[in-house]
Structure 1
Amino acid sequence: MRRLMPFVPVACTGPVLYVGLPQLQRDIDNLKLALQTTTCQGAFLPSVAPTGVGSNEFYGSEEDYLSAVAEVLRVEYQTIIDAGFSVQIDDPFLPDLFADRHLDNAAIHRRANAYIEILNHALRGLPQEKIRYHTCYIINEGPRIHDVPFIEFVRFMLRINASDYSFEAGNVRHEHEYHFWEQVKLPEGKRLIPGVICHASNTVEHPELIAERVGRENVIAGVDCGFSSQATYRTEVHPTVIREKFRALRAGPAKDD
């Protein structure tokens, strides 16, 4: 896969500060402008989880670094909500942790608990109904036989202070995992956003199957991940196919109306 631009690792070498308000306001203004011609019931802007902002070369510990990042990202989360939108926390790092072969299960669980505590600290006091959480497994097209099973980390995911949980479920390696919800009860007031169309396949899903997978209560039809799921990569799905996939996504739930 050829990159459009070189990948440059990000490292913290001084105190963490938030300097992105002008860029964030531009995104907010652009989204408000776009919504003037639609009748949608709501909209969200994505933001990164604290664990996704590079490595630490300044703070005395990883915990101190992530706590500092959480505090400044809270500014972004709050600003998006104050603008009238929901905020979606994009976090592929939690399932990545469960795939780390250098850690045993006890170490993985300790670190996962720390991740969740840090994110919940950043979200403290914010209206839970305005918070979505999105995570993914492996984002490229491939065999995917080594993906982290959903069951490994979903119980951790549900402890995050969000109202909606978006996750991959549309690719063939994970379509069976809806059975997990026969074992785990969704907490009151929460909703699921399973992926029902795959971002790493040029096959268009059928609206009938999408309709079967999306219930009337507490489930919103979603996408596994963004079709350009890493900005430095070329999308693996042709734009004409992307449009057809979204048409199927819209047509599927409409069958139950």
Structure 2
Amino acid sequence: MAPTGVGSNEFYRSEEEYLSAVADALRVEYQTIIDAGFSVQIDDPFLPDLFADRQLDNAAIHRKANAYIEILNHALRGLPQDKIRYHTCYSINEGPRIHDVPFIEFVRFMLRINASDYSFEAGNVRHEHEYHLWEQVKLPEGKRLIPGVICHTSNTVEHPELIAERLVRFAERVGRDNVIAGVDCGFSSQATYRTEVHPTVIREKFRALRAGVSGDHHRRFAIHQFK
């Protein structure tokens, strides 16, 4: 969780003072996770949500986005960047998604966050075309992308060939060593949710993901053809 998504200020003199205290507290948790041998994933729907706030003009959105990034980087200060993943989390529920924020609107803000890996929605058909933005935006040295290549809000199981194609699109633009296969979001996107996809379908989606990444689908196809 990013600091901007934790509770609300009831005791501090300003929002800035409150968020700074939250960031300090979360840093202890992040450090504990890393010390235990794990990577930290920051799930953050709050940054992209800013860009959909119709009460703010572009200047106000950018000011708040800069403040969000500053406070998150404050929470991450001194932590090994190669142990930090950032997840945009802006397409979490089943729906038409016609008002989702275009990724191009906030990707440059996202890349300023002190993480090594960036996870984002790309399997959702409302966002699948957005791989083209990496023809305009340069991925910084030492960073990797984790595009979602299976969708967590659809009961259709993606074909491994499609999953492989989705990965290749990103690899062609940022380099194959800079791409990791991911999921759009968690299948139970909040702890209080029931999954919108049946667990048996979830398992099939992950089997397809494994096959698409490993190339197993090519071998199975060849065996079938020559039986």
For residues 215 and 171 of structure 1, the distance between their equivalents in structure 2, rounded to whole angstroms, comes to 22
| Helix, strand or coil at the partner of 1:140 | coil
For residues 174 and 181 of structure 2, the distance between their equivalents in structure 1, rounded to whole angstroms, comes to 6
Q: How many residue pairs are counted as aligned between the two chains?
A: 209
| Helix, strand or coil at the partner of 1:162 | coil
Matches for 1:98-247 after TM superposition, within 5 Å: 98-210=51-163, 216-247=176-207
Q: Is the 8 A contact 1:70 1:122 kept in 2?
A: yes
Deviations 1:140-175 (A, max 9, x none): 111100000000111000000000000011111000
**Which structure's residues are more often helix, by fraction?**
2
Q: Is the 8 A contact 2:73 2:114 kept in 1?
A: yes
1:137 Cα deviation from its structure 2 partner: 1.4
| Helix, strand or coil at the partner of 1:132 | strand
For residues 66 and 144 of structure 2, the distance between their equivalents in structure 1, rounded to whole angstroms, comes to 22
Q: Is the 8 A contact 1:196 1:213 kept in 2?
A: no
1:212 Cα deviation from its structure 2 partner: 9.4
| Helix, strand or coil at the partner of 1:55 | coil
TM-score of the aligned structures, taking structure 2 as reference length:
0.89
| Helix, strand or coil at the partner of 1:88 | strand
For residues 10 and 25 of structure 2, the distance between their equivalents in structure 1, rounded to whole angstroms, comes to 17
For residues 172 and 149 of structure 2, the distance between their equivalents in structure 1, rounded to whole angstroms, comes to 10
Gaps (5+ residues) in structure 2? Answer: 164-170, 217-227
1:216 Cα deviation from its structure 2 partner: 2.7
For residues 194 and 245 of structure 1, the distance between their equivalents in structure 2, rounded to whole angstroms, comes to 15
1:213 Cα deviation from its structure 2 partner: 10
Gaps (5+ residues) in structure 1? Answer: 1-47
For residues 138 and 207 of structure 1, the distance between their equivalents in structure 2, rounded to whole angstroms, comes to 22
Q: Is the 8 A contact 2:145 2:178 kept in 1?
A: yes
For residues 127 and 214 of structure 1, the distance between their equivalents in structure 2, rounded to whole angstroms, comes to 23
For residues 174 and 189 of structure 2, the distance between their equivalents in structure 1, rounded to whole angstroms, comes to 23
Deviations 1:45-86 (A, max 9, x none): xxx110110111211111111000000000000001111111
Q: CA RMSD in A?
A: 1.7
Q: Is the 8 A contact 2:44 2:89 kept in 1?
A: yes
**Among 85, 89, 92, the residue aligned to 2:38:** 85
Dislocated runs of 4+, deviation >6 Å: 211-215
TM-score of the aligned structures, taking structure 1 as reference length:
0.79
| Helix, strand or coil at the partner of 1:159 | coil
